[in-house]
Chains A and B, each alone.
Chain A
Amino acid sequence: MYRLTINGVAHQVDAPSDMPLLWAIRDIVGLTGTKFGCGVAQCGACTVHLDGQAARSCSVTVAESAGKKITTIEGLSPQGSHPLQKAWVAEDVPQCGYCQPGQIMAAAALLAHKPKPSDADITEAMTNICRCGCYSRIRKAIHTAANGIA
């Protein structure tokens, strides 16, 4: 049993110690906003925050996550009112949308540390894959959120 604090709510999770956090979040706790894309920390679809840092939850175990503050897309803002979510709407970012929770969580961690990121900062921090190729609008939306326009 592991005690996982997800979006401020404590969950007792019966899982083997090596289970990736992703599957505890999706299959046990039942929050499906965090996506599975590759399972090997390549694509970033599963990005969550662990104590405020972006983490690829497919490659962090339940045991490593216990005792940390876990935030998923559902916990970023209940109504979608986070500046990035507003910017995503304003800039019409998603296409299929599957990678977007991970993109937004990666961007949110970036803005938390660098409220006004440069293009180079965005390139360095945003390594998540988008197969629809929404990258240009993702970049634009991060600037929009950072500038408080949306």
Chain B
Amino acid sequence: MQRSHFLTSGAALVVAVHAPVRALAATGSPSASGAAKLSPSAWLRIDEHDVVTVVLGKSEMGQGVNTSLPMIVAEELEYPVERMHVVFAPPDPAFKDPFLGGQQTGGSTSVKSTFEPLRTAGARAREMLVAAAAKRWNVAAAECTARNGTVVHAASHRSARYGELVADAAALPVPEKPALKPREAWTVIGKGRKRLDTLAKATGKAQYGIDVRLPGMLIATIAKTPSMTGHVLGYDAAAAKKVKGVRAVVPVSSGIAVVADNYWSAQQGKNALNARFAAGPKPPSTAHIAADARALVKTEGAVGRNDGDAARAIAGAAKTVSATYEAPYLAHTTMEPMNATAHVTRAGVEVWAPTQSQELAQSVIAKIAGVKPEQVTLHTTFLGGGFGRRLEVDYIQDAVEIAKAVRVPVKVVWSREDDIQHDFYRPAATTAMSAGLDANGKIAGMKSTLVCQSIVKRALPALFKNGLDPLAGFGLADVQYTIPNFHYSYHHQETGIPVGFWRAPYSNANAWSTESFIDELAHAAGRDPYAFRQDHLPPGTRARTVLDLAATTAGWSTPLPKGVFRGIAFATWDDSMIATVAEISMNGKTPHVRRLVSAVDVGTIVNPLSLEAQVTSAMLYGLSAALTQKVTFTNGAVDQHNFYDYTVLRQDAVPLMTVVFVPSTEKPSGAGEIGTPPVAPAVTNAIFAATGKRIRSLPISDTFA
């Protein structure tokens, strides 16, 4: 990097790797403005008081990025992780995720996208600090070492803290390609480290979006139009305003907002509105959508993969098998209901939000408020769960629309019912699969047809081409098994239901249909389900390695206690791979999942503790869904309401879980979602082993109702 790229402001000198210094105006910074700073990246700054701040360009929604990303910096910077300050970044192009194309947290890319930039940032700062010390002491830089926040010249027993060197270091050229530590020298990366935010979360001090409080702030709830295609017919604003504490009634895009002194008054006002709604034209209903999908899946869709001649191979096979699978719509149900706080003034808009999408939020806020994006100040708070739901910005839109009308700070808080009934749902999937086995019990050809409403068509329309959603085949079209003749086609189904990214998008349904069908083929071939998968995954491949590791860890070949049965499944999510073994028993008519064992390959591991937490988290997220969850629609509106009819697994149903990692020196891939896809098929395959009943429709509870 050239000196001309330096950006100077007063005494402080700041260097940006990706983009200019706007990112450094992060809110809540412990680094006093005006202090000398060394900042070789928008993600990192060191001030003269030895305050090392990581400006976190990723949202912390439970995945542990406010520990794992500082760890990556710390490795190269030679500075203790636990002494680092972490602040949430404002919207800035410097934080654009190359895999997602914007400043977003999702797609399991947080470590994958920052691993090299953060190591480089740490190494640049370290080399500049060492160079500054060497210059000051008039010794060779090679004689100096950086350790634990101090540069030391051992020969002369001299040392200087990083803070003492910052001003000098900032005047030096930024090394273009700093020397990164070799893997063997790592002392931070790959070593389990406990989270830095636990005490804040265990004392109630961590601030989530819903906890934002501002002077003069009012609280709003919204009577939301129940039907996806509906509109407001009428309401009684005067009645709502009679409720003590209600300050205003504001029509907004999603319904009618009631603004009050507190949430309870706003809710009482909402009830008093007596709002009436129309269902609108062609309100979607699950029954119609499913019937349409069943008809559509019998026809060929847009062809996404075509190896050899699957139809011919199946027609000429020794044995053929076909089956159709149906996965339901699902809601995210983050623990923290949707909320956002906005204040619209003449100068601009200030918003506080638990969001996964800073860049999108900034542009939507600016558009609604009629200001320029640079007049938007967006503060990201802790997120009480994300799972893809907070990639959407509808709740921010609500807050800004209301704040624009009332001109005082307003926090909009959704009820749990609003959250479940106004989500961007995991789309339902209907998958028809057929295959032929040759005389040796090997798959000669396979054909799969997927009917699933495209998320990409709404969220990333430029990627939807020739009838194909490039992500829709995740876990289906990218099958890892050796199948010489393979055909995959896809139908986008327009339903009027908003669909969105839900932990391990597409793969979360496709892995279930694929791995159920592979199990059906194993049964038809008279092979053990694990052996049949081995037959089709060549030794030495990553897929075979995780499969074998899961089976070995679970003791696949060892006998089980009476009444206990196993199922196995393999899955991929982007570059990551997993295999899971489920052990179940039948409690009368109901399956009980007693153990889940997973082996994962996510490339290089930064923090094994957070990885294990993420994988088990994703497994339980998948188990909850597989066991009981479904969202249904009647006349355009969601039939479920709250945790009593959209149930979530609790302490009493948690299986024993084991997660093992494949040691890897490959680049990090994603960890936050990979645990979800294999769980449903591992469990339904175990149910088949136990009962002979093949589950072809989720959730499992529908079969055993």
On whether the two chains bind one another, the answer is yes
B616–A136 contact, CB under 8 A?
yes
B202–A32 contact, CB under 8 A?
no
Q: Please report the C-alpha to C-alpha distance between residue A89 and residue B644 in the assembled complex, in whole angstroms.
A: 31
Task: Please judge, given known A-B contacts A28-B262, A35-B210, A97-B384, whether A131 and B621 are in contact too, CB under 8 Å.
Answer: yes
Which of B203, B382, B415, B619 is A133 in contact with, Cβ under 8 Å? B619
A35–B202 contact, CB under 8 A?
no
B264–A89 contact, CB under 8 A?
no
Task: Please judge, given known A-B contacts A93-B198, A95-B62, A138-B651, whether A38 and B621 are in contact too, CB under 8 Å.
Answer: no
Asked if B652 lies at the interface with its beta carbon under 8 angstroms from chain A, I say: yes
Which of B195, B204, B335, B413 is A92 in contact with, Cβ under 8 Å? B195
Q: Please report the C-alpha to C-alpha distance between residue A138 and residue B652 in the assembled complex, in whole angstroms.
A: 12
Asked if B61 lies at the interface with its beta carbon under 8 angstroms from chain A, I say: yes
B202–A40 contact, CB under 8 A?
no
A127–B651 contact, CB under 8 A?
yes
A135–B650 contact, CB under 8 A?
yes
B650–A127 contact, CB under 8 A?
yes
Chain A residues positioned under 8 Å from B619 (CB to CB): 133
Q: Please report the C-alpha to C-alpha distance between residue A84 and residue B201 in the assembled complex, in whole angstroms.
A: 12
Asked if B543 lies at the interface with its beta carbon under 8 angstroms from chain A, I say: no
B197–A97 contact, CB under 8 A?
yes
Chain B residues positioned under 8 Å from A94 (CB to CB): 62, 195, 197-198, 201-202
Closest B residue to A37 by CB, please name it.
Answer: B335
Which of A45, A131, A135 is B651 in contact with, Cβ under 8 Å? A135
The B interface is mostly helix, strand or loop, or mixed, namely loop
Most buried by B among A23, A133, A135: A133
Task: Please judge, given known A-B contacts A38-B416, A100-B201, whether A23 and B262 are in contact too, CB under 8 Å.
Answer: yes
Q: Please report the C-alpha to C-alpha distance between residue A27 and residue B416 in the assembled complex, in whole angstroms.
A: 18
Task: Please judge, given known A-B contacts A73-B203, A92-B613, whether A27 and B263 are in contact too, CB under 8 Å.
Answer: yes
Q: Please report the C-alpha to C-alpha distance between residue A133 and residue B207 in the assembled complex, in whole angstroms.
A: 21
Chain B residues positioned under 8 Å from A85 (CB to CB): 199, 202-203
B642–A40 contact, CB under 8 A?
yes
Task: Please judge, given known A-B contacts A39-B416, A126-B651, A131-B335, whether A89 and B613 are in contact too, CB under 8 Å.
Answer: no
Task: Please judge, given known A-B contacts A131-B333, A135-B620, whether A96 and B202 are in contact too, CB under 8 Å.
Answer: no
Which of A36, A134, A136 is B263 in contact with, Cβ under 8 Å? A36
Q: Please report the C-alpha to C-alpha distance between residue A57 and residue B216 in the assembled complex, in whole angstroms.
A: 25
Nearest CB on B from A73, distance (A) = 4
Task: Please judge, given known A-B contacts A33-B204, A134-B613, whether A27 and B264 are in contact too, CB under 8 Å.
Answer: yes
Q: Please report the C-alpha to C-alpha distance between residue A126 and residue B383 in the assembled complex, in whole angstroms.
A: 23
Task: Please judge, given known A-B contacts A30-B213, A37-B337, A133-B617, whether A95 and B384 are in contact too, CB under 8 Å.
Answer: no
A42–B202 contact, CB under 8 A?
no
The A interface is mostly helix, strand or loop, or mixed, namely loop
B335–A80 contact, CB under 8 A?
no
Most buried by B among A16, A73, A96: A96
Which of A30, A32, A137, A138 is B204 in contact with, Cβ under 8 Å? A32
Q: Quick one: which of B202-218 are within 8 Å of A by CB?
A: 202-208, 210-211, 213
Q: Please report the C-alpha to C-alpha distance between residue A23 and residue B263 in the assembled complex, in whole angstroms.
A: 7
B210–A34 contact, CB under 8 A?
no
Which of B207, B337, B657 is A36 in contact with, Cβ under 8 Å? B337
Nearest CB on B from A117, distance (A) = 12
Chain B residues positioned under 8 Å from A45 (CB to CB): 335
Closest B residue to A141 by CB, please name it.
Answer: B202
B262–A92 contact, CB under 8 A?
no
Most buried by B among A42, A45, A126, A127: A42
Closest A residue to B200 by CB, please name it.
Answer: A97
Chain A residues positioned under 8 Å from B201 (CB to CB): 88, 94, 97, 100
Chain A residues positioned under 8 Å from B336 (CB to CB): 35, 37, 96, 98
Asked if A12 lies at the interface with its beta carbon under 8 angstroms from chain B, I say: no
Closest B residue to A97 by CB, please name it.
Answer: B201
B198–A133 contact, CB under 8 A?
no
Chain B residues positioned under 8 Å from A144 (CB to CB): none
Asked if A104 lies at the interface with its beta carbon under 8 angstroms from chain B, I say: yes
A89–B335 contact, CB under 8 A?
no
Contact with A along B407-437 (1 / 0, CB 8 A): 0000001011000000000000000000000
Q: Quick one: which of A33-88 are within 8 Å of B by CB?
A: 33-40, 42-43, 45, 72-74, 76-77, 80, 84-85, 88
Asked if B244 lies at the interface with its beta carbon under 8 angstroms from chain A, I say: yes
Which of A33, A89, A131 is B385 in contact with, Cβ under 8 Å? A131
Asked if B250 lies at the interface with its beta carbon under 8 angstroms from chain A, I say: no
Task: Please judge, given known A-B contacts A19-B264, A27-B262, whether A38 and B642 are in contact too, CB under 8 Å.
Answer: yes
A35–B194 contact, CB under 8 A?
no
B264–A131 contact, CB under 8 A?
no
A134–B264 contact, CB under 8 A?
no
Asked if A122 lies at the interface with its beta carbon under 8 angstroms from chain B, I say: yes
Asked if B272 lies at the interface with its beta carbon under 8 angstroms from chain A, I say: no
A89–B198 contact, CB under 8 A?
yes
Asked if B64 lies at the interface with its beta carbon under 8 angstroms from chain A, I say: yes
A101–B335 contact, CB under 8 A?
no
Q: Please report the C-alpha to C-alpha distance between residue A133 and residue B615 in the assembled complex, in whole angstroms.
A: 10
Nearest CB on A from B59, distance (A) = 10
Nearest CB on A from B414, distance (A) = 10
Chain B residues positioned under 8 Å from A16 (CB to CB): 244, 264, 268
Q: Quick one: which of B646-662 are within 8 Å of A by CB?
A: 648-652, 654, 657
Which of B62, B206, B211 is A132 in contact with, Cβ under 8 Å? B62
Asked if B152 lies at the interface with its beta carbon under 8 angstroms from chain A, I say: no
Asked if B643 lies at the interface with its beta carbon under 8 angstroms from chain A, I say: yes
Q: Please report the C-alpha to C-alpha distance between residue A19 and residue B168 in the assembled complex, in whole angstroms.
A: 60
**13 other contacts beyond A16-B244, A97-B200, with CB at 8 A cut-off?**
A19-B264, A28-B262, A32-B211, A33-B205, A42-B642, A73-B203, A74-B203, A89-B198, A94-B201, A97-B206, A129-B643, A131-B335, A138-B651
Give chain A's interface residues, CB within 8 Å of chain B.
15-16, 19-20, 23, 26-28, 30-40, 42-43, 45, 72-74, 76-77, 80, 84-85, 88-89, 92-101, 104, 122-123, 126-139
What would be 18 A-B contacts, judged by CB atoms less than 8 Å apart?
A15-B264, A27-B264, A32-B204, A35-B210, A35-B336, A42-B644, A43-B335, A88-B198, A89-B198, A89-B202, A96-B62, A97-B197, A97-B206, A98-B382, A126-B650, A127-B652, A131-B334, A137-B613
Give chain B's interface residues, CB within 8 Å of chain A.
61-64, 194-195, 197-208, 210-211, 213, 219, 244, 261-264, 268, 333-337, 382-387, 413, 415-416, 609, 613-614, 616-617, 619-621, 642-644, 648-652, 654, 657
Of all A-B residue pairs in the complex, the 4 with the closest CB atoms, nearest first, are: A33-B204, A98-B384, A96-B62, A97-B201
